Amino acid sequence: MKTLIVNEKYDNKKLINFIKDSFPELSLNVLNKALRNKDIRINNVRTRENIVIHKGDTISVYITDEFLYKNINLEKVYEDDNILVINKPSNIEVVTLTSNEKTLTTLLKKNYEFIEPCHRLDRNTTGLVLFAKNQITLDILLQKFKNKEIKKFYKCMVYGIPHKNSDTLEAYLFKDTKKSMVYISDIPKTGYKKIITSYEVIEKDIKNNTSILSVTLEFSGRTHQIRAHLAHVNLPIIGDGKYGINSINKKFNKKTQELCSYKIVFNFSTDSRYLKLFN
């Protein structure tokens, strides 16, 4: 059984739309059969109708995982006694606190006594995710991220050709949790946090007006920072349905953002205890 809480986006929307968006791999045939069998409850009341739901409703789905999720084969990039690096595929969260859906972390917990992520990627951002295999390692690595002693590099395809081959962008970001959106300002504003994003051009395609960039977060690493910051300077990531341009996404037939975490660099300058071999 999976439990979902209806958010504002689906207030006064049909039940089936909410469930299908929550479980993209679930077929309509299986969903309709579950409704006929009253295997879906709303606020603990069984239903067989595609009724309107409301914000705050609790939806209980009695459908087995084999129908809710596709099989995911996780690629291990590196592993030792203390850390694990996974190449995350698209369409899966690293971890979530809002429901009991299958995540990268829950998949790994089936095979590890202790496994916790040291950072996150957006659901449809692919690439390297660093996990700690014990509490001491987790504490060390979280501190290293805080001290900027671990640096993540991202590769993305954007629409547009930057005027400079490399640049460091500074701005201010505001997170709207209700809309699950962030907004960028060039000047300080109440509630906005400073961000610094650097990029370097790897490839240019003048004919298609696209570029491939290597991007790093020099300051903060806030929600959707790369996606929103690049869009703010007229370099939207192709395939980004939230901050990109729909007509451009359709032109290149991309439904998810072309953004990948492709490199993690350890540069320990403070005590790293038994992880000192990474120096």
Query: How much helix, strand and coil, in percent to the nearest 5, is found in the chain?
Result: 20, 35, 45
pLDDT at 272 over 90: no
Q: Which of 146, 168, 193 marks a domain boundary?
A: 146
Bigger pLDDT: 79 vs 276: 79
Instruction: Identify the pLDDT of residue 277.
Output: 55
Q: Which residues are tagged catalytic?
A: 122
Which domain does 224 fall in, by range?
Answer: 153-263
This prediction has a pTM of: 0.76
Same-domain status, 8 and 64:
yes
Same-domain status, 209 and 107:
no
Alpha helices by DSSP H, listed for the chain, are 15-22, 28-36, 65-68, 104-109, 135-146, 225-232, 246-251
In sequence order, which residues have a C-beta less than 8 Å from that of residue 29 and are 6 or more positions away?
Answer: none
* CATH number, domain with residue 80: 3.30.2350.10
* CATH number, domain with residue 42: 3.10.290.10
Least confident of 1-10, 139-148, 150-159, 235-244: 1-10
Q: Which of 46, 68, 90 marks a domain boundary?
A: 68
Same-domain status, 189 and 237:
yes
Instruction: Identify the pLDDT of residue 3.
Output: 87
SS3 (DSSP) at 240? coil
Q: Report in angstroms the alpha-carbon separations of 27 from 4, 23, 66, 72, 92.
A: 18, 9, 11, 17, 18
Domain count, the chain: 3
Read off the pLDDT of residues 254-270 as tens digits, 9 standing for 90 and up. 989 999 999 999 998 88
Task: Note whether residue 55 is domain-resident.
Answer: yes
Q: Which of 27, 45, 68 marks a domain boundary?
A: 68
Instruction: Identify the pLDDT of residue 276.
Output: 65
Whether the CB-CB separation of 239 and 126 falls below 8 Å is answered with: no
pLDDT at 66 over 80: no
Same-domain status, 229 and 159:
yes
Region class of 221: left (phi > 0), else alpha (psi between -120 and 50), else beta: left
Instruction: Identify the pLDDT of residue 279.
Output: 45
Task: Note whether residue 133 is domain-resident.
Answer: yes
Same-domain status, 163 and 131:
no
**Chain mean pLDDT for the chain:** 91
